[in-house]
Every structure is written in structure tokens, then in C-alpha cells.
Amino acid sequence: MSEQEEQIINYDKSKEYWEKVEATNSGMLGNITYVSLSDIQFNANFLKQIFKLKPSPGRNRCIDCGCGIGRITKNLLIHEFKKVDLLEQDAKFCEKARETFKNCDQLGEIFNIGLQDFNCETMPKYDLFWIQWVLLYLPDDDLVEFFLKISKCLDTNGIIIVKENVTKGNEAVYDTEDASVTRTISAFKDIFKRANLRIVKDMKQTNFPKDLFPVHIFALRPIIK
């Protein structure tokens, strides 16, 4: 962990920040709910392209990591997979998700833990990991370790989807309010390499306001040695 990461990225502080956020789409999106439709439409198109890969991932089970109240699961993932698990460290977000999906046959397990506490020994195999707008709360070394762990939980032809903000310049941007870091694309690529992952597809989100951070989505697979 760099000195700046040590000073700013803090699991307890980010947890405290999100404990104060309401369990609504507005809370999940920082009051910019108008980006949700473009986000979901873009994700759906990207996922269609992923299913066209050869070999393609299965559609049996996926997991939405850092899912909040389950916005992406509700609007996309439950329509594409037989079972969707949720992973979220905030208890009230998990409770809201349980309420939302109480009559949904596609809902699998809800894991009330943070990404840093992911234990591959106790998890099922997944065709796909969906990870969006949550990796900014993990320092580099912990993020590499997280990727190494979830790679062990991938089923045959499984894939990891990462969608995150990236900086417009060549330096990381730190936020002391929620204890997060917005990385450069090159930083992400270095982390993927360290975690023995290769990029099989990379796209930039379109139809987002220009005053926001650029957003990139990556499809990743472990490098077979």
C-alpha cells in the first residue's frame, strides 16, 4: 500500500460513510439517478457481447459484488442467470435487497460481508462476477488478493466483469470523505496483470455527462499457465 493509500483508504471510515447513505437508488448513485438507465442499457449490451465469446460463460449462477440494494441485479442480472447471489457489507442495504427480491426465484444467497472478507473456500462456483463502483474502496494489494481469490471461484469458462470510474489524467484521485481512490486505466491494467488476469473485452461507457469521471467496463479471465 502506498503512503497516500494508507492515509486515505480505510475500511472502517468507508463503512461509516455508507451507513449514513439511504437505501435507495438515489443513495446508491450519489443523487445522480439519471445515469441509471444509460448504465443498465450499456451493461446489457456489454453482457450480450460477453455471451457471444467463444468459449462463452454459462448462465447458471452469478454474483453481484458490492451490490448495494441490488439495482443491477434487479434490472439486469436476474433476467440473464438462473441464480444471482448478492454480496454487500452494509446490513440495511442487504435488508432492502431481501425485501425487493423476496418473491424472486432467481435470488440465491445474500452475503453480508465486504469484498476484503471474501472467502473462496466457502463460496460456490460462479459463471460470472459482476463488480461495479466498489473497487475504489480497496487498496491495490488487497484488490490483487481479492481478484486472486475470486478467480478460484470461477466455473468453467467463467468471467469477471469490472466497471469502475477512471481518472481523466495520469494520477489517482483520492476522496477523504468516503475513503476511496479513483484509479487510472494503467493502474487497473497493472493490478489485473498482478492478479494473473487478462482483459478479453474493454469498453468505455457512453451517454454519461462529461463532467463525471470516465467509466470503463472490463471483462477478465485468468491467464492459464
Q: Is 205 annotated as a binding residue?
A: no
Q: Is 27 annotated as a binding residue?
A: no
> Closest by alpha carbon to 120, among 108, 132, 129?
129
For residue 130, the number of C-alpha atoms closer than 13 Å in the C-beta half-sphere is 27
Q: Is 77 annotated as a binding residue?
A: no
C-alpha distances (whole Å) from 112 to each of 18, 49, 103, 142, 198 are 14, 31, 20, 19, 29
Q: Is 71 annotated as a binding residue?
A: yes
C-alpha 42/C-alpha 137 separation (Å) is 24
DSSP 49-71: HHHTSSSPP-SSEEEEET-TTTH
C-alpha 91/C-alpha 8 separation (Å) is 24
Q: Is 115 annotated as a binding residue?
A: yes
> Closest by alpha carbon to 219, among 64, 60, 51?
51
**E-strand stretches of 17-111:** 61-65, 83-87, 107-111
C-alpha 38/C-alpha 29 separation (Å) is 13
Question: Binding site for S-adenosyl-L-methionine: residue ranges?
Answer: 66, 71, 115-116, 132
Per the annotation, binding residues are 66, 71, 115-116, 132
